[in-house]
Amino acid sequence: MLVYTYVRTVREMNPETRHVAVLGDTFVDLYCPLESGSKLPFWGGDVLLRGGVSIKSGGSASNTAAHLASLASHNLARRDAKDSPSPVVSFHTIMGDDTLGQVVTSTHAKAGTRLHLAQLTQQDAGFGQPTGTCVVISGDHDRAFMSTHGIMDYWRPGHICEEELHKASHLHIGGYFNFAKEVQISLPELVVKLRASNPYLTVRIFFPIFPALSSIINTDDISDVHPLKTLGVP
């Protein structure tokens, strides 16, 4: 639903400057669908999966960027401007230099996303860490997750290419609660800088709060979003 809301946003932009920048998390999902009627395994037990394990590109921001880029590539977002340039969708994130990261880059290459990946050197903390990974166990009525942030935990404000973000006409921030604290608290200043150069920049931050997460999400994290609200970020 979120992606289709953005179709209208993209269509209303200036055809010459339609650029959606997505900033946020990247994960690779190891999808494990249980056989119908099966319950989660208990310690020492075993359950059958339906159709085996599949590996998919995941992460809230990564999925949004790939879907938007795919829509743009197929002209679904610009039916009213057939002779205008295609909207640009760029994705700003961090991932490991590993096989799982290749799953993500392949997905975005097919979608037509412009990837801007944070580059760590051997001197940087986190160099060589793996791409964030999430094991998704899916049943008849619900699903459960087991995750590791991997290199996402080492993403810092200095790794974000502000020069490229200044080219955007819309900024989408996704996966907020997967960001390192340093990135979370830097977002208000980043938005101020971007709007100083482009007062017409629109911004949206997306972080769904599920009831099951209420016991593990620190309310201090939620309060960090308030400065963004004062900047008119919905």
Distances (CA, A) of 9 to 2, 194, 203, 206, 230: 11, 18, 11, 15, 22
Tell me the angle at which helices 60-73 and 99-111 cross, rounded to the nearest 10 degrees.
Answer: 30
Is beta strand 133-138 parallel, antiparallel or unpaired with respect to 143-148? antiparallel
* Structural fold of domain 2-26+59-131+153-230: UDP-N-acetylmuramoyl-L-alanine:D-glutamate ligase (3.40.1190)
pLDDT 10s per residue in the chain (234 long)? 455 455 445 555 554 557 999 999 999 999 999 988 888 888 998 888 988 899 999 999 999 999 999 888 775 545 555 556 678 899 999 999 999 999 999 999 999 999 999 988 888 998 999 999 999 998 888 888 999 999 999 999 999 999 999 999 999 999 988 999 999 889 889 998 999 999 888 888 876 655 544 454 454 555 555 555 555 555
Q: Can you tell me the distance from the alpha carbon of 181 to that of 184, in angstroms, rounded to the nearest whole number?
A: 5
Six-digit token pair at 67?
């879907």
Distances (CA, A) of 202 to 46, 67, 85, 198: 49, 19, 20, 9
The reported pLDDT for the residue numbered 205 is: 83
